[in-house]
């Protein structure tokens, strides 16, 4: 189905659906089995895009010079309606640009393009961030897809695991009241493997700020599931509500403000900068395996 609100993609045995609201992926099916979280009461989203921030800012305030602007967690893109730029049977592209409303809370010119391309074996999601203005653009960007837990073919939460492309020995980071704690914590990843347990997320998201891998497999007890890869992103967030029901595997370029940081947005750790006329590409891919 194509329309003003939603566009459905078809390729081989795969089906995907994208909403104009937030440019959000809302379904990913293979042979009728749904791999994406259904935005139930535990968390009312599917796969939002995080822009122009990832996580929270101190006091939910964005500081630019002497001015402050209100900015809620993960930014505003996920709650804005994007414009359809292209639509076909297996692909689409949506665009969000600055306007009078965004400039009240984010005093930068920008264009964010989100493109989806479905093939016989998976889905590619590509971002292009453009700076059409005449001053440097400061921003962060993150993907936040929530996948079904349990995965299709599994009876319950037990026995699921993540298999990273490389060993991940670095300590992990945690949040406190939405801000990045200064402490680091021993990783629960055992070499390349992370056995999944809802208790991992009792302390909110687990953040790999020194992630080596650019690919991870999310597997059910039978070894079937999803292969997820990314490019252009520097960190990885893992999150679920206590008790499970979904698993978010989140490539990020940027993180929440560290506790105690209250400086200029352009100086926040993890912020990226684009010169006037510049652009930058990011992407993630998911394959059913």
Nearest to 271 by CA among 22, 48, 62: 62
Give me the pLDDT at residue 242, please: 77
Q: Rounded to an integer, what distance in angstroms lies between the CA atom of residue 34 and that of residue 41?
A: 17
pLDDT exceeds cutoff 70 at 37: yes
List, for residues 44-62, the tens digit of each pLDDT value.
999 999 999 999 999 999 9
Taking residue 8's Cβ as centre, other Cβ atoms within 10 Å add up to 17
269 — pLDDT class (breaks 50, 70, 90): very high
State the pLDDT at residue 267.
97
On whether the CB atoms of residues 288 and 122 are closer than 8 A, the answer is yes
Q: Is the pLDDT of residue 182 over 60?
A: yes
What pLDDT does 86 receive? 97
pLDDT computed for residue 243 by the predictor: 74
Residue 152: pLDDT band (50, 70, 90) is very high
Q: pLDDT tens, 187-209?
A: 999 999 999 999 999 999 999 99
Please give the pLDDT value at position 191: 97
Res 139: pLDDT: 98
Return the bridge partners of 96, or none.
112
pLDDT above 70: residue 38? yes
Task: Confirm if 144 and 49 have CB atoms less than 8 A apart.
Answer: yes
- How far is residue 149 from each of residues 197, 261, 289, measured CA to CA in Å? 11, 35, 16
Q: What is the pLDDT of residues 1-16, one digit of tens each?
A: 456 899 999 999 999 9
Enter the tokens of residue 168: 């991940």
The pLDDT tens digits of the residues spanning 165-177 come to: 999 999 999 999 9
According to the model, what pLDDT value does residue 3 have?
66
Buried b (16+ CB within 10 A) or exposed e, 244-282: bbbbbbbbbbbbbbbeeeeeebeebebbbebeeeeebeb
Domain ranges of the chain: 6-288
Mean pLDDT of the chain: 96
Q: From CA 10, how far away is CA 125, in angstroms rounded?
A: 15
Looking at domain 6-288, which CATH architecture does it have? Distorted Sandwich (2.70)
Average pLDDT over residues 91-101: 98
pLDDT of residue 20: 98
The whole-number average pLDDT for the span 260-274 is 96
Q: How confident is the model at residue 131 (pLDDT cuts 50, 70, 90)?
A: very high
3-state secondary structure 45-96: CCCCEEECCCCCCHHHEEEECCEEEECCCCECHHHCECEEEEECCCEEEEEE
Question: What does the pLDDT look like over 232-265, one tens digit per residue?
Answer: 999 999 999 977 789 999 999 999 999 999 999 9
């Amino acid at each position: 189905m194509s329309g003003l609100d939603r566009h459905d993609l078809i390729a081989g045995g795969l089906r995907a659906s994208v909403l104009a609201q937030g440019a959000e992926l809302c379904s990913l099916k293979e042979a009728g089995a749904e791999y994406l979280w259904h935005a139930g009461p535990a968390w009312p989203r599917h796969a939002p895009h995080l822009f122009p921030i990832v996580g929270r800012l101190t006091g939910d305030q964005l500081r630019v010079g002497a001015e402050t602007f209100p900015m809620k967690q993960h930014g505003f893109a996920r709650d804005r309606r994007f414009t359809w730029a292209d639509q076909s049977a297996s692909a689409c592209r949506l665009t969000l640009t600055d306007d009078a409303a965004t400039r009240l809370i984010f005093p930068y010119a920008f264009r964010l393009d989100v493109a989806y391309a479905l093939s016989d074996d998976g889905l590619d999601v590509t971002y292009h961030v453009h700076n059409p203005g005449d001053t440097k653009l400061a921003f962060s960007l993150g993907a936040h897809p929530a996948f079904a837990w349990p995965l299709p073919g599994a009876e319950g939460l037990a026995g699921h695991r993540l298999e990273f492309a490389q060993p991940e020995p670095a300590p992990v980071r945690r949040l406190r009241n939405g801000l990045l704690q200064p402490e680091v914590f021993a990783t629960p990843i055992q070499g390349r493997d992370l056995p999944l347990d809802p208790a991992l997320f009792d302390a909110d998201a687990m953040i790999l700020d020194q992630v080596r891998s650019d690919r991870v497999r999310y597997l059910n007890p039978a070894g079937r599931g999803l292969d997820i890869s990314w490019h252009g992103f520097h960190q990885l967030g893992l999150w679920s509500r206590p008790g499970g029901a979904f698993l978010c595997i989140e490539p990020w370029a940027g993180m929440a403000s560290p506790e105690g940081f209250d400086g200029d947005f352009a100086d926040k750790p993890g912020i990226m900068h684009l010169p006037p006329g510049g652009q930058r590409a990011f992407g993630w891919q998911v394959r059913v395996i």
